Structure 1
């Protein structure tokens, strides 16, 4: 520890982690270290655009992370809760008084023969880069299959079809299961207009992926030069590997204040955790609120005050269907969707607003947490020990 400062380590530089780090770093007597495997921020909600080249999906931490935050570019490999230390892949360690667990989520193991070997993902930058390379090496007329009918699957299918790709979207059950039935209609119309073949129902379930085909439960085989798996998410096993309490999916268990069950020094933000009392949907919309909430909980504990429950307020879901069309599906504050929706160009504008708002919030938080010029950038993994 350094002087009388309270040392807070934030593990993960996604939406929740950056929001938490900036908010914490605004306070005197609090030293904040952010550990992230990349030197830049990745807009995961734009990775489907990265695949087609319409956006690079990367923003500099220089504009999003306050200069009072020490950035360590490395990967956390273990949390020693008893010793309050985080071990890093580069060989160093970082000590903490409080830790914000914000490692996010990634692609789930499909559990389908051949999928891990032959299917691509679009849930992280590395997967999107591999997919982009594969598409560049594939003729534009070759068939492409997208598996998964959630927001990522729908957006990826539309983005590729808009570039002229021949796309089949395999839903498994229903198109857009998180949408209201009335919100699904404009999505289906837009996909049909783009030429996307949509397969729904229990028979449209993938049972095997090969190098050049996708086999379905009804025995049908789809030719597929490039297969993209977007169904499901998983969280890193850092919490479980560190002996912290998790659910069956490996998410860190927290109470309603986002405090880890069993360790008051660890507070969570984002997809990698779950409230035992009030589960929430994995989303950027939740992560930015959870990041702010995690910071508030830590600050109250530092001040010797009892943390208060974090309340999440949802507004809906936004789906981009190419560059100029989208659907904004509204919801009640508890995230239950309703029949209200906006589609077409206005829907696309709402989606763009929803994508840009978190960046503006983080940039505002960075300004309040000091300029990057005042801090001198990040420390390398070799200098991470504290």
Structure 2
């Protein structure tokens, strides 16, 4: 029987892992199923552009994975039993169940309301395509001069505020940040960021914690009311809740605890990648939730599974950072160079060249997902006899650590 590999989630990490597995293994030996709720690949790093009114190129999974041997399953994941090795799904035909021998968990993350009252009811999010489209529709209905408040001073907030301000210069755009504007950037990076915000007319509320969201304003910790016809909430991400409801070993944040191979420390036939995994990087610090972190973990997991099934050498994909790429509208950008553990150094690239650099990075990431088997060795490796049984036996959790 074929070894059954199921990949849950088809974002940057899940789609990359599925494609890489298809390239590493022979379809005569394995059955790879990619479970996704959406028929098209979503470029999450461009959701601020979609919200601001731009059109994005459609990337159907049916075309991306044609001829690869990867089976697409259009369904929503509703449950996971890691002890039985089953996934509960709902598709067009109703509820169903999928069985696996190896699982790649890549369900990613969504917006995090941080428990702030009124956020779920009144704020907009851009963590996914549906939220970005709802915000796009709302912004289109705003009259000139109406206020828009972006909450969150991280990279997503910076990109959202500048994109909206550039696309709609008639609106009164503001950013509320708990810290200083760009306080994790270098001096050069912060200086350029302020220059762009000033040019776009964005009001900045620094060292400001938003404690409540209403339909027409937000309230800050000191009791100040800031007008907001639209509130865009970008204050962090929260992982999909399904893992926490299982017997998997998860962190306080709900991320699956993995080893260096991206393998669950409690269930060795489960691999977690991207935002869904608690991955230690340089200096033993957890990797931040990002596309830059997620894709290398996808490669690591796929290569680890392939090595385990074929008797190959276990991989060691470097998990480190080189830069932070920030778009500041369509004409400006900021590339902040960082240490391996993601701390800013003095060097930064700014202006139009930085915008082009960021655009190339986005296009490259999407191209890599759309061409999932390009650039890997053509020779697929045969699964060793008995590998399916050996991996299936690990469902009980009886490995060397127990």
Q: TM-score, normalised by structure 2?
A: 0.86
Instruction: Give the aligned partner of residue 398 of structure 2.
Output: none
The CA distance in 1 between the partners of 2:54 and 2:152, in whole Å, is 22
Q: RMSD in angstroms over aligned alpha carbons?
A: 1.8
- The answer to whether structure 1 residue 211 and structure 2 residue 215 are counterparts is yes
Match of 2:246 among 242, 248, 255: 242
User: Which sits farther off after the overlay, 212-221 or 170-179?
Assistant: 170-179
Instruction: Give the aligned partner of residue 81 of structure 2.
Output: 80
Q: Deviations over 1:80-108 (max 9, x none)?
A: 22221111023111111100011111101
Instruction: Give the aligned partner of residue 10 of structure 2.
Output: 13
- The answer to whether structure 1 residue 133 and structure 2 residue 141 are counterparts is no
Rate the CA distance shift 1:306–1:242 in 2: closer, same or farther, 3 A: farther
Secondary structure class of the residue paired with 1:92 = strand
Where does 1:195-344 land on structure 2 (aligned, <5 Å)? 195-201=201-207, 204-275=208-279, 278-304=285-311, 307-344=314-351
Rate the CA distance shift 1:58–1:285 in 2: closer, same or farther, 3 A: farther
Instruction: Give the aligned partner of residue 399 of structure 2.
Output: none
Instruction: Give the aligned partner of residue 45 of structure 2.
Output: 45
Q: How far apart are residue 30 of structure 1 and its match? A: 2.1
Rate the CA distance shift 1:269–1:134 in 2: closer, same or farther, 3 A: same
Instruction: Give the aligned partner of residue 189 of structure 1.
Output: 195
Rate the CA distance shift 1:63–1:188 in 2: closer, same or farther, 3 A: farther
**Is the CA contact 2:274–2:297 (under 8 Å) kept in the aligned structure 1?**
yes
Secondary structure class of the residue paired with 2:369 = helix
User: Which sits farther off after the overlay, 39-48 or 101-110?
Assistant: 101-110
Rate the CA distance shift 1:197–1:111 in 2: closer, same or farther, 3 A: same
Query: Which 4+ stretches in 1 moved above 6 angstroms?
Result: none
- The answer to whether structure 1 residue 71 and structure 2 residue 72 are counterparts is yes
Instruction: Give the aligned partner of residue 176 of structure 2.
Output: 170
Secondary structure class of the residue paired with 2:278 = strand
Q: How far apart are residue 361 of structure 1 and its match? A: 1.7
Secondary structure class of the residue paired with 2:319 = coil
Rate the CA distance shift 1:205–1:57 in 2: closer, same or farther, 3 A: farther
User: Which sits farther off after the overlay, 331-340 or 237-246?
Assistant: 331-340
**Is the CA contact 1:324–1:344 (under 8 Å) kept in the aligned structure 2?**
yes
Q: Deviations over 1:152-197 (max 9, x none)?
A: 1111111111121210100121222442233121011101100000
Q: How far apart are residue 208 of structure 1 and its match? A: 1.3
Gap runs ≥5 in structure 2: 377-402
Rate the CA distance shift 1:247–1:177 in 2: closer, same or farther, 3 A: farther
**Is the CA contact 1:256–1:278 (under 8 Å) kept in the aligned structure 2?**
no
The CA distance in 2 between the partners of 1:315 and 1:155, in whole Å, is 19
